[in-house]
Amino acid sequence: MYASRIADTIQIHFNLNEYRLRSSEIAILDSLLYNDIISSRTDILLIGYTDYLGSEQHNATLSINRAKTIQQYLQSMSIDTSNIKLCIGKGEIARDVQTADGYPIDRKVDIVIYKLNGKQKQVTKAKPTIKSPQATTIQTASVGETIRLSNIYFYTGRAIVTNESYPQLNVLFETLDNNPTLKVRIEGHVCCLTYGFDAEDEDTHEIKLSVNRAKFIYDYLVKKGIEKDRLEYAGFGRSKPLVHPEKSLEDQEKNRRVEIRIIEK
pLDDT band, residue 132 (cuts 50/70/90)? very low
Q: Among residues 88, 109, 105, 264, which one has the least CA distance to residue 185?
A: 264
Q: Tell me how far apart the alpha carbons of residues 92 and 17 are, in angstroms, rounded to a whole number.
A: 12
Instruction: Dihedral sign for Cα 13, 16, 20, 23, please.
Output: negative
- Note whether 11 and 126 are within 8 A (CB): no
Domains of the chain, residue spans: 8-115, 133-264
Topology agreement, domain 8-115 and domain 133-264: yes
- Note whether 255 and 189 are within 8 A (CB): yes
Check residue 27 and give left, alpha or beta (phi > 0: left; psi -120 to 50: alpha). alpha
Give the pLDDT confidence of 141-176 residue by residue, as tens digits: 899 998 988 888 887 788 888 777 888 888 899 899
- Identify the CATH number of the domain defined by range 133-264: 3.30.1330.60
Q: Is 208 exposed, middle or buried (0-12, 13-18, 19+ CB in 10 A)?
A: buried
Check residue 168 and give left, alpha or beta (phi > 0: left; psi -120 to 50: alpha). alpha
Percent of the chain topping pLDDT 70? 90
Read off the amino acid at residue 257: R
The pLDDT, as a whole number, for residue 196 is 86
Average pLDDT over residues 76-105: 90
> Which of 185-194, 201-210, 248-257 has the least mean pLDDT?
248-257
Residues 6+ apart with CB under 8 A from 24: none
**Summary mean pLDDT of the chain:** 85
Percent of the chain topping pLDDT 90? 48
The pLDDT, as a whole number, for residue 64 is 95
Cis status of the peptide bond prior to 180, with omega within 30 of 0: no
Average pLDDT over residues 172-195: 91
> Which of 9-23, 120-134, 160-174 has the least mean pLDDT?
120-134
With b for 16 or more beta-carbon neighbours within 10 A and e for fewer, the 170-183 pattern comes to ebbbebbeeeeebb
Start-to-end C-alpha separation, the chain: 53
The pLDDT, as a whole number, for residue 117 is 53
- Identify the CATH number of the domain defined by range 8-115: 3.30.1330.60
- Beta strands 84-92 and 42-50, pairing class: parallel
Give the pLDDT confidence of 21-37 residue by residue, as tens digits: 998 899 889 888 888 88
The top-scoring range by mean pLDDT among 93-102, 133-142, 159-168, 179-188 is 179-188
Q: Tell me how far apart the alpha carbons of residues 123 and 10 are, in angstroms, rounded to a whole number.
A: 8
User: With 60 as the cut, is the pLDDT of residue 5 above it?
Assistant: no
The pLDDT, as a whole number, for residue 116 is 61
> Which of 35-39, 173-177, 259-263 has the least mean pLDDT?
35-39
